[in-house]
Amino acid sequence: MSQTAHPPSDDGPLLEVSGLRKHFVQNDDFLDRLFGDAETVKAVDGVDLTVDAGETVGIVGESGCGKSTLAETVARLQNPTDGTIRYKGTALEELSGRKMKPYRREIQMIFQDPLSSLHPRQTVGEILTAPLEVHGIGDSDEERLDIAKSHIERVGLDPSHLDRYPNQFSGGQQQRIGIARALTLEPELIIADEPVSGLDVSVQAQILSLLNDIQSELGISIVFIAHDLSVIRYVADRVAVMYLGEIVERAPTDALFEDPAHPYTRALLSSVPRIEPEKRTDRIRLRGTVPSPLDPPSGCHFHPRCPAVIPPDDWPGDQEAFRAGLEFRKQLRVEEIDLDALRGRLDASTERITDADLRDELIAETLSVPLDRLPVPARESVQEAATAVVDGEAERAASLLADRFYTPCEERKPETVEPTPGHRVACHRVDPDAPGDPNRPEGDR
Ligand SMILES: Nc1ncnc2c1ncn2[C@@H]1O[C@H](COP(=O)(O)OP(=O)(O)OP(=O)(O)O)[C@@H](O)[C@H]1O
């Protein structure tokens, strides 16, 4: 954690990102645009983020949440679709080419796979001196080599290594070279995109400790991206949790670990091994993977996977039963049900397959709890909907289930609220003005 060698600036944060969006348009040829078939991947969709001088901000989320796209857009390796990136008060999103150059020096990136970001046919010396030459630092090759030497020593490597090529090093050493390269231009902000994910656990600890040392020595600010909260806990002063292109919770690191408010954060945290037995919670298993940002779920993007999704006020059963019904509904909507495959699976066990057999098999395969766990009216809706699917009436099935398994979480995007200073959460359960009854028990998790 940073020792804040440089006092925070009085002039506001070092970096202030507001409403940042990065959308990728696919199938973007003339005909697609003419017929409206172009599809938009909303990889980053309205992110606000601040980083103070000398601070480390962790960004965490599963694969596909948009972390790398956010990192690359903030570093201006990608052009934003919308929003602002203010660095020391200057709007970077408006700068290009020559005007951006001084900021490219001040904002450096460290990548997950150091080998693919280091030129294979350049020696380490050349890799470290090339950026100095580009930015006109050092009066001679010797002076630049001296600067490179000091950085290679700072990251714990031997100056004699400057003559070697990247592939002659271990993964941990390659990442040290990546860090040395980021340091050569004396940046004020480093964006580290999963810098330890590809390394063995023991090597991870060494690299994290090196980054912590460098940060407290030089007072650099770091945006540290990881999918693993235990890594984030070790390095970050504050944490932002990202899901499907948005930040769903942010808080000082200790507050986030002590009192996580968003169900997604809780699920991520439950998979972090804890040393203190009294703080251990049962593992919350999230079903499925992050949905495609081509077609994000309505309302709260997390609701289809949320262990705490809010049932309607008149739901007569428990939360787990509701969640099973909601998942059944979503699955029937997104998956083409292959009745022949169902029939095939029944073939061996049943002599003559009736529509009722097919219906029961469909329910058994798709509903995550036994049918009798659902309250009677919901049970009937599931049976009726499954019958409609077997009869080829997918739309009727969808409408039956939508009437029964409805959640306020799918209707409205949650507002971001701040239950305690600096702790911001976007979840209907936390927002006192949210629809539905946020106090309904969350059920067994
Ligand atoms: N150039 C691109 N064109 C289209 N879609 C893209 C592009 N780059 C990223 N995406 C999509 O944007 C989403 C976010 O990707 P991103 O790599 O930023 O996520 P991530 O959280 O960093 O995941 P990972 O840890 O796996 O890299 C993904 O669905 C990805 O497929």
What are 246's strand-pairing partners? Answer: 243
pLDDT tens digit string along 366-394?
899 999 999 999 999 999 999 999 898 88
Would you state the pLDDT for residue 163? 94
Whole-number pLDDT of residue 432:
76
Query: What's the rounded mean pLDDT across residues 134-155?
Result: 94
What is the arithmetic mean of pLDDT over 251-257?
A: 96
User: What is the token pair recorded at 70?
Assistant: 């956010």
Separation of CA 79 and ligand 1 centre (Å): 15
Rounded to 5 degrees, φ, ψ at 440 are: -60, 140
151 lines ligand 1 (CB under 6 A): no
Q: Return the best residue to mutate from 41, 116, 243 for the ligand 1 pocket (most ligand atoms within 8 A of CB).
A: 41
CA of 244 relative to ligand 1 center, distance in Å: 10
pLDDT band at 33 (very low <50, low <70, confident <90, very high): low
pLDDT at 6 over 60: no
185, pLDDT greater than 60: yes
pLDDT band, very low/low/confident/very high, at 1 (cuts 50, 70, 90): very low
Give residue 346's pLDDT band: very low, low, confident or very high (50, 70, 90): confident
Q: What is the Å distance from ligand 1's center to 425 Cα?
A: 23
Contacts of 320 (CB under 8 A, 6+ apart): 369, 373, 443, 444
- CA 398 to each of CA 10, 173, 297, 320, 393: distance values in angstroms, whole numbers, following the listed order: 56, 55, 16, 21, 9
Token couple for 443: 């059920």
Q: Does the C-beta of 24 come closer than 6 Å to ligand 1?
A: yes
User: Could you report the predicted ipTM of this complex, rounded to two decimals?
Assistant: 0.97
291 touches ligand 1 (CB under 6 Å): no
Question: Is 64 near ligand 1, meaning CB less than 6 Å away?
Answer: yes
pLDDT higher than 90, residue 300: yes
Q: Which residues lie across from 392 on neighbouring strands?
A: none
Asked if residue 32 has pLDDT above 50, the reply is yes
Chain-wide mean pLDDT for the chain? 88
What pLDDT was estimated at residue 253? 96
Residue 66: CB within 6 Å of ligand 1? yes
Model confidence at 222: pLDDT above 60 = yes
- Our answer on whether the CB atom of 63 is closer than 6 Å to any ligand 1 atom is yes
138 ligand 1 Cβ < 6 A: no
Task: For a ligand 1 pocket test, name from 25, 60, 68 the mutation site with the most ligand atoms within 8 angstroms of its C-beta.
Answer: 68
Which residues sit opposite 15 in a β-bridge? Answer: 51, 87
- In this predicted structure, what is the pLDDT of residue 314? 87
Band of pLDDT at residue 73, cut at 50, 70 and 90: very high
pLDDT at residue 4, as a whole number: 37
Distance 65 CA to ligand 1 centre (A): 7
Alpha carbon distance 278, 270 (integer Å): 13
Paired tokens of 76 = 């201006």
Nearest to 306 by CA among 231, 401, 394, 414: 414
Ligand 1 near 173 CB (within 6 A): no
Position in ligand 1 atom list of the atom nearest CA 70: 18
Query: Judging by DSSP bridges, how do beta strands 189-193 and 39-51 pair with one another?
Result: unpaired
Atom 10 of ligand 1 has which residue's CA nearest to it?
43
DSSP letter at 196 equals T
Q: How many CB atoms lie within 10 A of CB 318?
A: 18
Please tell me the distance from the alpha carbon of residue 356 to that of residue 391, in angstroms, as a whole number.
11
Given the DSSP bridges, would you call strands 238-243 and 246-252 parallel, antiparallel or unpaired?
Answer: antiparallel
Residue bearing the CA closest to ligand 1, atom 8: 69
Residue range 25-51: average pLDDT?
A: 80
pLDDT attached to residue 2:
41
Q: What are the start-end ranges of the H helices in 1-123?
A: 30-34, 67-74, 97-106, 114-117
Quote the ligand 1 centre to 177 CA distance (angstroms).
Answer: 26
Looking at residue 35, its pLDDT comes to 63
Q: What atom of ligand 1 comes closest to residue 227's alpha carbon?
A: 25
Which atom, in ligand 1's list, is nearest to the CA of 69?
18
3-state SS, residue 428: coil
- Dihedral sign from CA coordinates of 365, 366, 369, 373: negative
Residues 6+ apart with CB under 8 A from 332: 366, 385, 389, 394, 397, 398, 401
SS3 state at 354: coil
pLDDT classification of 433: cutoffs 50, 70, 90:
confident
d(CA 369, CA 227): 30
Return the ligand 1 atom nearest residue 72 CA. 18
CB 87, CB 20: distance < 8 Å: no
- Given a contact cutoff of 8 angstroms between Cβ atoms, the answer to whether 52 and 16 are in contact is no
Instruction: Give one word for 27, left, alpha or beta, with left for phi > 0 and alpha for psi -120 to 50.
Output: left
Do the Cβ atoms of 76 and 85 come closer than 8 Å? yes
Q: Give the model confidence (pLDDT) of 92-136 as tens digits.
A: 998 888 889 889 999 999 999 888 888 889 999 999 999 999 999
Q: How far is the CA of 191 from the centre of ligand 1 (A)?
A: 17
Ligand 1 touching residue 245 (CB < 6 A): no
Please work out whether the CB of residue 296 comes within 6 Å of at least one atom of ligand 1.
no
Q: Which of these ranges, 36-45, 201-210, 356-365, has the smallest mean pLDDT?
A: 36-45
The pLDDT tens digits for 55-64 are 999 999 999 9
> Does residue 68's CB lie within 6 angstroms of at least one atom of ligand 1?
yes
Nearest atom of ligand 1 to the alpha carbon of 197 = 25
